[in-house]
Amino acid sequence: MLDIRRQSAELRVGIVGSGFIGRVHARAVRQAGARLVGIAGVSVDRAVEGARSLGAEKAFESAEELIGSGLIDVLHVCTPNHLHAPIALKALDAGLAVVCEKPLATDAPTAALMAVHAQDTGAVAAVPFVYRFHPMIREARARLAGLGRVSLIQGGYLQDWLLRSTDDNWRIDPEQGGPGRTIGDIGSHWFDLAEFVTGDRITKVCAQTSVVVADRVTSGPVRTEDLATVQFTTASGALGSVAVSQVAPGRKNRLFLEISAASGSLAFDQENPEHLWLGGRTSSQALIRDPMTLSAAARPYSPLPAGHAQGFHDCFDAFVADTYATIGGEHREGLPTFDDGSRAAHLTDAALRSVKEGGWVAC
């Protein structure tokens, strides 16, 4: 189901940005069988180096030149956050399909405008909430539907890559990364996954944030949160809580989601993605990813036999494959669009307003 190489072979792709995530996008483009026509970067030298290292056909002096070249059908936006909106909007105006990294924009109103503009143009516009593409997440979603009313949603997303004062990144600067760094960067993934698996909407949040490393050696005083805790309620009446941190020693990329329902529970750990914990009153089990036994919803995202571990790259490849299939006129269930990107920006904004106002905020 996920092999669309014949379709996507005609797709011409451009990427703006050639850092870590740009390289991940480029790999997924190649895996889908599309042509990686061009790369644009922060400078001509970076674009030339990016085109060479990523195997693109051409280097472009700017995103504007790439968008206006007439040589591409799809643009992947892999820049710092503050550049997402202007580049993506120009690409939509030029009639291109767009894949834009999250957060879609550094503020909720702009993200909402982008979602409306994508709808108005009729373009395929996708956001890489790629954890949706773990087969065990699809399995969790399918199984949860039969477990009755959800009562509790809880978990966290913990990292340690900004633990030290010598650790630095453009995301720390609110002018580039936006006002909600940890919530917007990794909390957005967790919220998207919680709403995707449960099919339920968060309706109210109460958040706290903390700056643990007050000064960074190269960028100075820190103005964005290192960690946050968020309590919430959902439309169905479920309660929830999540902790997100980029200063949790030893945690590299631990996205954990546990959901309790009337007749059972389930839990997923992104650092152990081959398993799904299924909890019951009389017995519990760890379900191992196996395409021979998975549900119809999960099986297409499990191309490897059991025991052959799948991970982040596989999720990204599946996301891009589904995006390109959608561009080709097919329907792919669960493709995250600009509407989902706008939703994530809205939840980030609500959490930050909660911190500022010191109480519960409606979403």
Q: What is the pLDDT of residues 292-309, one digit of tens each?
A: 999 999 999 999 999 999
Residue 96 one-letter amino acid: L
Secondary structure (DSSP) of 292-334: TTS-TTTGGG--SPTTS---HHHHHHHHHHHHHHHHTT---TT
Query: Both tokens of residue 22?
Result: 């740009």
Q: Are 174 and 262 in contact (CB under 8 A)?
A: no
Query: Both tokens of residue 355?
Result: 């911190």
162 conformational bin, left if phi > 0, alpha if psi -120 to 50, beta if neither:
alpha
Residue 10's pLDDT is 87
Query: Both tokens of residue 156?
Result: 């966290």
Which residue carries 């080709």 as its tokens? 328
Residue 285's pLDDT is 96
Residue 204's pLDDT is 98
Ranges of the chain with pLDDT below 50: 1-6
144 conformational bin, left if phi > 0, alpha if psi -120 to 50, beta if neither:
alpha
Query: Both tokens of residue 24?
Result: 């991940």
Question: 10 Å Cβ neighbour count for 21?
Answer: 16
Query: Both tokens of residue 199?
Result: 């099919």
* pLDDT tens by residue, 227-280: 999 999 999 999 999 999 999 999 999 999 999 999 999 999 999 999 999 999
Question: Any bridge partners for residue 241, and if so which?
Answer: 154, 231
Q: What is the Cα–Cα distance from 279 to 261, expressed in whole angstroms?
A: 10
Question: Any bridge partners for residue 193, and if so which?
Answer: none
Q: What is the Cα–Cα distance from 165 to 216, expressed in whole angstroms?
A: 5
Q: What is the Cα–Cα distance from 178 to 105, expressed in whole angstroms?
A: 8
Residue 1's pLDDT is 33
What CA–CA distances, in Å, run from 180 to 84, 183, 254? 15, 6, 19
Residue 4's pLDDT is 43
Helix axes 44-54, 20-32, angle to 10 degrees: 40
Helix, strand, coil: what percent of the chain each, to 5? 40, 25, 40
Query: Both tokens of residue 304?
Result: 């490897």
